[in-house]
């Protein structure tokens, strides 16, 4: 059964079989952000966190783009000056924190061009899939800005300092194949198969052991700032929690009974 909730014209949310799909919906502006879309996306993310039936989340864009970052139609520095620090603190940073704190697996489905903060959103998700037509345009330097949406951190983690510097300082636009080669995306699909593949992956995640999955994501996220000793301690703590879960009981029972484990029943 599909439940469709339209948060606003700018963001659509549908849920099916434990999978929530959030679609950025300003296709004429390549799904770039105005205030309304920021607010609607925040509401959609809060709603999927609160909904226990949602066990995996897809974020994608309507039309031919994924997200082109800030709507530049909303900015005219010839007429006024802008305190961009304020908009980053009010909108982009809370968005990045919301994405990082979702306790369910997130998949960015980059259906077309991602630029500026649009890349930040994709890379804040746990897994990034993209279409063979996708492009990743760094963009910030072209308008005199600094990479935001966590990109100065995420890019260094993903591709290393030297490549990250070259990418942003040259305002590089990566093709899907290059993004794959650099490790920014997990898999590239032909555009007409992308969503089907993404839903299949999200459904597998949704039917997986929710607590174990969420603790695994947390552990991997924390690895970037922890020492090995801290990480070993954290693994012991998380394993203790997972070991007390019904999913562990079901997983081992299924193994012993030589059947597939059932971690999720949408009817319950
Ligand atoms: O301001 C703050 O709050 C600070 C926060 C900053 C966060 C940021 O994200 S800063 C970076 C902002 N984004 C950009 O600088 C990207 C600007 N766009 C582009 O560089 C290119 O459009 C793309 C590389 C994304 C795509 O190029 P292409 O050739 O595939 O498409 P196009 O023809 O340029 O764009 C198609 C339409 O989308 C076009 O509209 P039109 O002419 O058909 O009516 C274009 O104006 C519109 N569009 C694309 N990006 C934006 C946009 N409209 C508004 N804002 C955009 N960012």
Q: Which residue has the higher pLDDT, 74 or 268?
A: 74
Please tell me the predicted confidence (pLDDT) of residue 268. 76
Check: CB of residue 182 under 8 Å from CB of residue 176: no
* pLDDT band, residue 182 (cuts 50/70/90): very high
> How far is the centre of ligand 1, averaged over its atoms, from the C-alpha of 47 (Å)?
28
Q: Which residue ranges have their beta carbon within 6 Å of ligand 1?
A: 29-30, 32, 68-73, 75, 84, 87, 113, 115-117, 137, 139-140, 143, 145, 148
Q: Ligand 1, closest atom to CA 135?
A: 24
Q: Whose CA is nearest to atom 55 of ligand 1?
A: 71
* pLDDT band, residue 2 (cuts 50/70/90): low
* pLDDT band, residue 86 (cuts 50/70/90): very high
Q: Ligand 1, closest atom to CA 145?
A: 10
Please tell me the predicted confidence (pLDDT) of residue 8. 83
Q: Ligand 1, closest atom to CA 118?
A: 9
Select from 126, 228, 251, 134 the least CA-distant residue to 188.
134
pTM of structure: 0.97
Task: State the average pLDDT over residues 202-219.
Answer: 98
Q: Taking all residues of the chain, what is their mean pLDDT, rounded to a whole number?
A: 96
The terminus-to-terminus CA distance of the chain in angstroms comes to 14
Q: Whose CA is nearest to atom 40 of ligand 1?
A: 29
Cα–Cα distance measured from residue 59 to residue 22, given in angstroms and rounded to the nearest whole number? 5
Please tell me the predicted confidence (pLDDT) of residue 1. 55
* pLDDT band, residue 105 (cuts 50/70/90): very high
Q: Which of 27, 115, 148, 172 to mutate to test the pocket of ligand 1 (most atoms within 8 A of CB)?
A: 115
Report the DSSP beta bridge partners of residue 11. 8, 24
Q: Whose CA is nearest to atom 50 of ligand 1?
A: 68
Task: State the average pLDDT over residues 245-264.
Answer: 98
Cα–Cα distance measured from residue 207 to residue 46, given in angstroms and rounded to the nearest whole number? 21
Q: Whose CA is nearest to atom 44 of ligand 1?
A: 28
Helix residue ranges per DSSP H, 1-150: 35-50, 84-87, 93-101, 117-124
């Amino acid at each position: 059964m599909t439940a469709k909730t339209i948060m606003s014209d700018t963001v659509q949310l549908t849920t099916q079989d434990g999978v929530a799909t959030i679609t950025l919906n300003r296709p004429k502006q390549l799904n770039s952000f105005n205030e309304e879309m920021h607010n609607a996306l925040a509401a959609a993310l809060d709603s999927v966190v609160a909904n226990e039936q949602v066990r995996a989340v897809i974020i994608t864009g309507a039309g031919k783009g994924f997200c082109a970052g800030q709507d530049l139609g909303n900015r005219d520095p010839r007429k006024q000056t802008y305190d961009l620090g304020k908009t980053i603190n009010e909108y982009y940073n809370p968005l990045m924190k919301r994405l990082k704190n979702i306790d369910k697996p997130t998949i960015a489905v980059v259906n077309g061009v991602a630029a500026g903060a649009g890349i930040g959103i994709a890379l804040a998700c746990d897994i990034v899939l993209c279409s063979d037509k996708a492009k990743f345009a760094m963009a910030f330097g072209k308008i005199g800005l600094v990479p935001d949406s966590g990109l100065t951190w995420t890019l260094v983690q993903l591709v290393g300092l030297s490549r990250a510097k070259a990418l942003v300082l040259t305002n590089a636009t990566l093709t899907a194949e290059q993004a794959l080669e650099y490790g920014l995306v997990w898999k590239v699909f032909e555009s007409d198969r992308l969503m089907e593949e993404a839903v299949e992956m999200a459904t597998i995640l949704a039917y997986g052991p929710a607590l174990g999955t969420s603790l695994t994501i947390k552990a991997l996220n924390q690895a970037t700032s922890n020492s090995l000793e801290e990480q070993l301690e954290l693994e012991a703590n998380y394993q203790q929690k997972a070991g007390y879960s019904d999913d562990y009981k079901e997983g081992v029972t299924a193994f012993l009974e030589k059947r597939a484990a059932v971690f999720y029943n949408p009817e319950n």
